[in-house]
Structure 1
Amino acid sequence: MDDVKASILSAIGNTPMVRLNRTGCRNIEIYVKLEYYNPSFSIKDRIAIGMIEDAERKGIINKGDTVIEKTSGNTGTGLAIACAVKGYHFVTVMSAGNSMEKAQMLKALGAEVVLVPQQPGEDTDTVSRKDNEAVERKTDELTEKLQAYRPNQYINPVNYLVHEYTTGSEIIKQTDGNIDAFVAYIGTGGTFVGISSALKKFRKDIKCYPVEPESAQFLAGKPVITTRHKIQGGGHAVKPPYWDESLVDGYLSVTDDEAINVARYLAAKEGLFTGYSGGANVAAAMKLDDSMKRGSIVVTILPDTGLKYLSSDLYKFDD
């Protein structure tokens, strides 16, 4: 019975890594870590269980309590699974600009979903900075009203520590330490900061590159043209509270079209079905091809599955 998990929570982590074979890159090899192998099909399962168990150890929550979180959907689904297994009532607050598959999945997992309408003038299928701020206000209001515990992935240090001790360590082990660069799209910043911390502690010469939308290169210090982009889960022109500039070796950016086209390539040519940020990560990694030595290994993340975006522009095709 060694292969039987005590619960679905024991199935989080230890996700596989795959080499891409048809990128057309001449100098670099790109390895992707398939985080949609987690139970809710997203990398956010890691921080969800980490934040809940941290709160339990500190005596902040007890069975039957209410947990609330602002999310673009993926952290919410991870928390919904953790709360379902552990006996908490979970409320998730998200923008109506996120894909509806995420909201439907949250409801199926027993979560109470509060959808915040998009702000006047904002585009559908996007979550702008204004939309994000509206969700934050609603979350604050409901947290006080419900007397709920909010893990708050945006400021909770467990967010990046989980990635340092699990995701980062897994990457080092899976590559046998043979890694030259790491690339990750910036949402809360936890994935990049945590994994980059692990990699830099392992070997200081590993290059780490955060990725932003081309129209909102805020962390790179460039003028923000607009936060109305399609790469969900980040790019809101906000500096993460635990951002560590010492981990950054350079900034990369991608357009909506680049993220979409590469996500579609991954599905059609590599058999890897991912979302917007997965496409953005690989598109950004490919941009390192001309600047790195032949045989260099670049690692990035496929944070979630394309199944969560079937109603969006990502997988709409002209017949």
Structure 2
Amino acid sequence: MWHDSVLGTVGNTPLVRINKLADAVPCTVLGKVEFFNPGGSVKDRIGISLIEDAEEKGLIEPGGTIIEGTSGNTGAGLAITAIAKGYRCIFTTTDKQSQEKVDVLRALGAEVLVCPTNVEPDDPRSYYSTARRLAEEIPNSVYLNQYDNPSNVAAHVETTGPELWEQTEGRITHFIAGAGTGGTISGTGRYLKEQNEEITVVGVDPHGSVFHKYFHEGVFDHDEIYPYVTEGVGEDILPENMDFDVVDDFVQVDDKTTMQMTRRLAREEGLFIGQSCGMAMAGALQWLHDHEATLDEDDVVVVLLPDSGFRYLSKTYNDEWMRSHGFSESRTNVTVEHVLKRRSTDAPVIAASPNDTLGSIIERMTDKGISQMPVIDAENEVVGSITETQILNALIASPEARNESVKTVMGDPLPVVPPSLHLEHLSSYLESGAGAVLVEHDAADGTYAVITKSDLIGALAQSNGNGTP
């Protein structure tokens, strides 16, 4: 048996039990793993629905142009459908979306316009406004508007909801999902409640989105709207597709919790999935913990996991990106401070001044048996670094370089890290540059200590199996 096109493979995604992460709750927790769709996300479902609805209504003719504002996943779903049906695609997105998402859309033949994130929805530069303008300017085009188009909700009434009911044999008691356009949670929740009105539907919202407060207080609070990193969920508008009557509760999750849970799902459950999946699971576990007294072993909770981790390789699954945003987890209790305390000597680092001559630095390095120094000025600011390699290169170029000052050949400063930094994060600093870092040794007098790779190896070798000092 075969499918006439890739569209025949959309839907019927698996349910996977969440084991380690959910071992503390008394019920069964399942993930609806939507990256099994051909475009890699739950949005493949509405890609078909939105376009076929436009066709039925005569909003687009053969060879026309599909226009949509998307965080990436809806665009991929629409592009796949457009390929099968012979349409051109133009998508607007925001500059906060991962490069992988933009690359996927372009790989599927779409034109992509990247718009600023931090502008009001009605600003002409926003990705909403840009999509509407393009639809007005381009003949035989249609702006599908996933936010207000009822065929978005209909796709989940017709597919996602029935799948969950059938796959759980009607045993599902809770459905938990993130909300963006509102289509997934509203359509799936609507179908499930039509089968059993006792099913609880819980929405998960990122901090910075309007849904959580609007649900609980009925207030659209502009002060609640602020930038957040998590992609594809939450809104700064109230889409018509968001049916709050279907939802029984809303919880909020911050970016750091989202990113860490996303990586834990990969590491502990083998589910290599995206940011909104981590947010949904973190929110689900938070809600289940808060309502544990109402749960028992017969309850079946389904958490919708929208997309694949491959769209976040440069972000959530990139250690440097995680660290730069303050999202990194620490899996060891050993810190830089422990390294300093273990060493046989706790003497401050030997440093050079920018005005020292290279000749004097050669003598100092030889006398102390060291190969590199930080360069620290009279105000105790770290302004550079000097290594024996830099000195050697200068002397080869000119024997008179012995009389030149350090500042003429010094390199970039060594990184300065806090004593509280965990060693797993320290290693990334040591892998680059001169292979050493500075630690503030005494805040009162502005002196520093230095840590090298050998110090790190020694500290890790001495820590016990639990990663404690």
The question of a shared fold, defined as TM-score above 0.5 by the shorter chain, is answered with yes
Change (3 A) 1:214 1:115: closer
- Pick from 17, 22, 31: which aligns with 2:15? 17
Q: Give the aligned partner of residue 130 of structure 2.
A: 138
1:203 aligns with 2:196: yes
**Counterpart in 2 of 1:123?**
none
Q: Could you tell me how far apart the structure 2 residues matched to 1:188 and 1:133 are? A: 20
Larger radius of gyration: 2
Gaps of 5+ in 1: 121-127
CA-CA distance at 1:17 after TM superposition? 0.7
Q: CA shift at 1:215, angstroms?
A: 3.8
SS in 2 for 1:219: helix
Kindly indicate whether the alpha-carbon contact (under 8 Å) linking 1:28 and 1:289 is maintained by their aligned counterparts in 2.
no
The residue that corresponds to 1:277 in the other structure is 276
- Residues 22-171 of structure 1 mapped to structure 2, 5 A cutoff: 22-23=20-21, 24-119=23-118, 134-147=126-139, 148-171=141-164
Measured against aligned partners, the alpha-carbon deviations of 1:40-68 in whole angstroms (never above 9, x if no partner) come to 10100100111111222223222211111
Amino acid at match of 2:114: L
Which gives a bigger RCO, structure 1 or 2 (Cα 8 Å, sep 6+)?
A: 1
Given that 2:116 and 2:125 are in contact with CA atoms closer than 8 Å, whether structure 1 keeps it comes out as no
Residue equivalent to 2:214:
219
Q: Give the match's secondary structure for 2:142.
A: coil
In the alignment, the residues of structure 2 paired with residue 119 and residue 33 of structure 1 have an alpha-carbon distance, to the nearest angstrom, of 32
**Separation in structure 1 between the aligned mates of residue 214 and residue 115 of structure 2, nearest angstrom:** 27
Per-residue Cα deviation, 1:57-99 (whole angstroms, up to 9, x for no partner): 2232222111111100100011111111111111111112111
Task: Please give the alpha-carbon distance, in whole angstroms, between the structure 2 residues aligned to 1:26 and 1:185.
Answer: 20
Structure 1 range deviating more: 247-256 or 100-109: 247-256
Who is 1:294 aligned against?
296
Residues of 1 paired with 2:205 and 2:259: CA distance?
A: 14
Contact residue 218 and residue 238 of structure 1 kept, 8 A = no
Residue matched to 2:313: 310
* Contact 1:36–1:305 under 8 Å retained in 2: yes
Residue identity matched to 2:42: I
Q: Which residue of 1 aligns with 2:230?
A: 231
Letter in 2 for 1:315: Y
Q: 1:48, 1:82 within 8 Å by CA — same for their partners in 2?
A: yes
Letter of the aligned partner of 1:145 in structure 2?
E
Deviates more, 1:50-59 or 1:272-281: 50-59
2:342 aligns to what?
Answer: none
> What are the within-5 Å matches in structure 2 for residues 244-259 of structure 1?
244-259=243-258
**Against the structure 1 CA distance between its residues 211 and 197, is the aligned structure 2 distance closer, same or farther, given a 3 Å change threshold?**
same
Residue identity in the other structure for 1:220: F
Give the drift of 1:252. Answer: 1.2
User: Structure 1 residue 231: deviation in Å?
Assistant: 1.7
Cα shift readout 1:113-161 (whole Å, capped 9, x = no counterpart):
11114448xxxxxxx9689971112112211111321111111101011
* Partner Cα separation in structure 1 for residue 202 and residue 84 of structure 2: 36
Q: Is the 8 A contact 1:95 1:131 kept in 2?
A: no
Contact 2:174 2:201 in 1 (8 A): yes
**Is the 8 Å Cα contact of residues 186 and 247 (structure 2) preserved in structure 1?**
no
Shift of residue 26 of structure 1?
2.5
Distance 1:280 1:221, change over 3 A: same
Structure 1 distance, partners of 2:191, 2:48, is 20
Aligned partners of 1:160 and 1:9: how far apart in 2? Answer: 19
Q: How many residues align?
A: 309
- Do the aligned residues in 2 keep the contact of 1:77 with 1:109 (CA within 8 Å)? yes
CA contact (8 A) 1:264 1:315 kept: yes
Q: 1:118 & 1:196 partners in 2: Cα distance?
A: 30
How large is the Cα RMSD of the aligned pairs? 1.9
- C-alpha distance in structure 2 between counterparts of 1:271 and 1:302, whole Å: 13
* Structure 1 residues 201 and 132: alpha-carbon distance in aligned structure 2, compared to 1, 3 A threshold: farther
- Return 5+ residue gaps in structure 2 as ranges: 320-424, 429-469
Q: Indicate if the aligned counterparts of 1:184 and 1:210 stay in contact, CA closer than 8 A.
A: yes
Q: Give the drift of 1:287.
A: 1.6
Amino acid at match of 2:231: Q
Sort the Cα spacing of 1:10 and 1:275 in 2 relative to 1 into closer, same or farther, 3 A: same
Identity of aligned residues (%): 38
* Aligned equivalent of 2:353: none
Q: Is residue 183–residue 281 contact of structure 1 (8 Å, CA) maintained in 2?
A: yes
Code of the aligned partner of 1:144: E
Give SS of 1:287's match.
Answer: helix
Query: Residue type of the partner of 1:102?
Result: K
1:194-220 residue CA offsets vs partner (Å, 9 max, x unmatched): 000011001010001111113433433
Paired residue type of 1:274 = I
DSSP-derived class of the 2:61 partner: coil
Q: Cα deviation per residue 1:256-282 (whole Å; 9 max; x = unaligned)?
A: 111111111110111101111100111
> Closer, same or farther in 2 for the Cα pair 1:287/1:129, shift >3 Å?
farther
Q: Is the 8 A contact 1:219 1:239 kept in 2?
A: no
1:236: how far off? 2.1
